[in-house]
Amino acid sequence: MTSYARADRVGGLIQQILSELLRRDISDPRVQRVTITEVKVTRDLRLARIYFAAAGGEAVAADAVQGFRSAAGFIKRRLGPQLGLRYMPALEFFYDASFDHGARIDQLLKSIATRSNEPDPSND
């Protein structure tokens, strides 16, 4: 078993616990409507990069990052005992724009489909 597998397991556990914390315990309105999409933990388990999606795009995401930073101490205190690691990883929060890109592509595909269903005025 490689250390990558352990880092992946720790990342999954952090994602699960943090999602539950967001749902139940964190009352900051900046992070209440946020979804944790992925947690990547370094091989040495010293750094956890937490990726999230937020309804409202990048403007809401900037506020959410500030909310996460202000709640980082609380989050680390709640994560630490449940992870059972010797050292609690440092937490970094990043906006995951892939959902916005997917929504934009979906919108473009729908507009193309709508145009292809319209009658061609040059055939009249």
- Give the pLDDT confidence of 7-58 residue by residue, as tens digits: 999 999 999 999 999 999 888 888 888 899 999 999 999 999 999 998 877 7
- Cα–Cα distance for residue pair 51/113, rounded to 1 Å: 32
Q: Look up the pTM and report it.
A: 0.78
Q: Could you read off the pLDDT of 90-123 as tens digits, one per residue?
A: 999 999 887 777 777 888 888 887 777 766 666 6
Cβ contacts of 100-106, under 8 Å, gap ≥ 24: 100/57, 100/58
- Cα–Cα distance for residue pair 122/41, rounded to 1 Å: 58
Q: Give pLDDT, residue 124.
A: 53
Q: Sorting pLDDT into bands at 50, 70 and 90, what band is 61? A: confident
